[in-house]
Structure 1
Amino acid sequence: MSTGRVHSWDLSTGVDGPGTRFVLFVSGCPLRCLYCANPDTWHMRDGREATVDEVMAEIEKYRAFLTTAGGGVTVTGGEPLLQSAFTGELLRRCKEAGLHTALDTSGFLGARAGDALLADTDLVLLDIKSFDVTTYRRLTGGDLGPTLNFATRLDRSGVQMWIRYVLVPGWTDREESVDALARFVAGLDAVERVEVLPFHRLGAAKYEALGLPFPLRDTPTPGAEVTERVREQFRARGVRVY
């Protein structure tokens, strides 16, 4: 049985997949996104050790409610694919229990997701941080290529996707970059929707508590006009937007 490093869990509705979800936050992430709202999940040491059985016992307390509410289980982080064996076993157990499964990932470690893991995943919440290679590296510290490769693989496999795009003024609001991403996403049949998420500073207090500087502390929240313009760019390509 796999053992993982787990940060916490919570219940949410309409945010981390369809219906009411049991959301498991695992620890560890290879990226350092400048707008990350969960810097307390960056390191494996930030979590506690837990077995799949222990997590399933917690999920079981809510299983009837989750099913009735049209929800399921979402594994997020951190980056769940950093602990792919643990994540894969947990998703399998959830599927065996008749629960809808969702994986929230940057796709940066998509190569670690085996075919069996994807077969047990009903929905991937794929965070595409930017469609510009240079901006992506400056914003995350990683490469864009693995995420796009993972999106293409999910599409070929028929795994449903919700694309998440955080709109950060001065970083991810360039019309040309947004339009390029919209064209890419429109070519993926497995994409059900795109969520344009306005940048916020709600995680700033966590940085302060950890003694870390918040890199985007002076970056404003995008205005309604810019947010709607970006959403309309996706709609213009025939993509459903939320």
Structure 2
Amino acid sequence: MRGRIHSIESFGTVDGDGIRFIVFFQGCLMKCLYCHNPDTWDMQGGRFVTVPELIQEIVTYKPFLQPNGGGVTASGGEAVLQARFVYEWFKACHQENLTTCLDTNGYVRKYTPEIDDLVNETDLVMLDLKQMNDEVHQKLTGVSNQYAKQFAEYLHQHNKRTWIRYVVVPGWTDDDESAHLLGQFTKNMDNIERIELLPFHQMGKVKWEIMHKEYQLENVESPSRATLERLQKIISNYGHKVIF
């Protein structure tokens, strides 16, 4: 079995517990306007790897990864599109006593045994909830938010340890109503440990230019600290720890 990956980061510190070995998987069905890796969208791009090849590289980092619950993270692109491969990789990582984390946008259209196996083999899910207003979500990502919401509910039903990630984009996701909608949606999900507010940035702009794609957020600035604090206060009132 082979997986199609975009790139690897051997020393990640913000993508799960401890220090993470991150594999960015190739392919994504969302087309987020703020994506900083649009080169991962192509389902036929990237390069092929096998689980033994990944493990051979990962074990050299074990002394750095294992303290403080560190391990591996499947990111993207969208790793769920290669659920069977990621499951086999996670299973091999557990045999090496490394924790596993799935960083996903939740775009799961069909709940197959492969999805169940992957989630069961995952220690932590970091789920991106882009926008609770579906009309805005479709303009922002190109698709409906129904699948991400269904996946959030699936994780709750399975009591899967989850962090929610919410990118704060001025003019798109920084209004009070959007914050209230996120708080209301996640209010009763006791599997969620925290909600992370991720400030929008322009770091991905150069890739859009290299790929000759129209970048619609060129004049959008990063949100202010006051904005992040306002959203933090609104969402935290629904019962979850909110950080930025």
TM score, norm. by length of structure 2: 0.95
100-109 vs 60-69, which deviates more?
60-69
Q: CA deviation at 1:91?
A: 1.3
Match of 2:124 in 1: 123
Match of 1:34 in 2: 33
Distance 1:110 1:65 in 2: 36
Q: 1:152 to 1:169 in 2, by over 3 A?
A: same
Match of 1:152 in 2: 153
Q: CA deviation at 1:207?
A: 1.3
Are 2:183 and 1:182 aligned? yes
Are 2:55 and 1:56 aligned? yes
Q: The residue matched to 2:148 in structure 1 has which SS?
A: helix
Distance 1:58 1:44 in 2: 24
Match of 1:99 in 2: 98
Q: CA deviation at 1:72?
A: 0.7
Counterpart amino acid of 2:179?
V
223-232 vs 119-128, which deviates more?
223-232
Counterpart amino acid of 2:76?
G
Mapping for residues 67-86 of structure 1, pairs under 5 Å = 67-86=66-85
Match of 1:140 in 2: 141
Are 2:89 and 1:90 aligned? yes
Q: The residue matched to 2:66 in structure 1 has which SS?
A: helix
Residue pair 1:19, 1:72 contacting (<8 A) in 2 also: yes
Q: CA deviation at 1:14?
A: 3.3
Match of 1:8 in 2: 7
Match of 2:224 in 1: 223
Q: Deviations over 1:108-138 (max 9, x none)?
A: 1264552211110000000000000101111
Q: Percent identity between the aligned chains?
A: 41
Counterpart amino acid of 1:220?
E
Q: Deviations over 1:151-195 (max 9, x none)?
A: 111111111110000001110112112101112112101000000
Q: CA deviation at 1:96?
A: 2.0
Counterpart amino acid of 2:17?
P
Match of 1:164 in 2: 165
Match of 1:241 in 2: 242
Number of residue equivalences? 241
Q: Deviations over 1:11-47 (max 9, x none)?
A: 3443101110000001000010000011111113321
Q: CA deviation at 1:71?
A: 0.7
Match of 1:206 in 2: 207
* RMSD of aligned alpha carbons: 1.3
Distance 1:132 1:94 in 2: 37
Residue pair 2:5, 2:24 contacting (<8 A) in 1 also: yes
Unaligned runs of 5+ in 2: none
Residue pair 1:192, 1:240 contacting (<8 A) in 2 also: yes
